[in-house]
Amino acid sequence: MTTKDIAGKTVQVNEEGFMADPNEWSQDIAVAIASEEGIPDLTPDHWTVIDYCREVGLESGSAPTLRNITKGAGVPTKQLFGLFPKGPAKKVAKISGLGKPEGCV
C-alpha cells in the first residue's frame, strides 16, 4: 500500500490506485478521481450510480459488477458506458472509493 493526496486528503491506495479504505472516501475525493479518470463533471446521473455502488459496496464488502449496477441502479448498459467510458464498473468503483470489482482486468 502507498498513500496519495486526493482533494487535499492523504488516503491509502493500492498499486492500481484504488482506495484501500472506503471510509476515507468523500464526495470531494470522488470529484477529484473522476477528473483524473477523464470525467470533468459529475452529473446527478453519475451520483445515482456512485451512491448505489457505495451502498452495495459497503454492505457487501466488494464493488458491484456491471450487471449488478445496471439492474440495481436502474441505468441501462449503454447509458452506463456513456457516463463512465472505457470500463464503467472499474471506473465507478475507483470513483466510489471501492476496490476493483471482481472479474475486471
Q: What is the DSSP string of 60-88?
A: HSSPPPHHHHHHHHT--HHHHHHHS-S-H
What is the predicted pLDDT for the residue at 82? 97
CA pair distance 96, 91, nearest whole angstrom: 9
What is the predicted pLDDT for the residue at 20? 93
Specify whether 53 is catalytic: no
Residue tagged active-site, from 1, 73, 104, 105:
104
What is the predicted pLDDT for the residue at 30? 98
Task: Give the chain's residues under pLDDT 70.
Answer: 103-105
What is the predicted pLDDT for the residue at 100? 85
User: pTM here?
Assistant: 0.93
> Mapping DSSP to helix (H, G, I), strand (E, B) and coil, where does residue 96 land?
coil
What is the predicted pLDDT for the residue at 104? 58
What is the predicted pLDDT for the residue at 103? 62
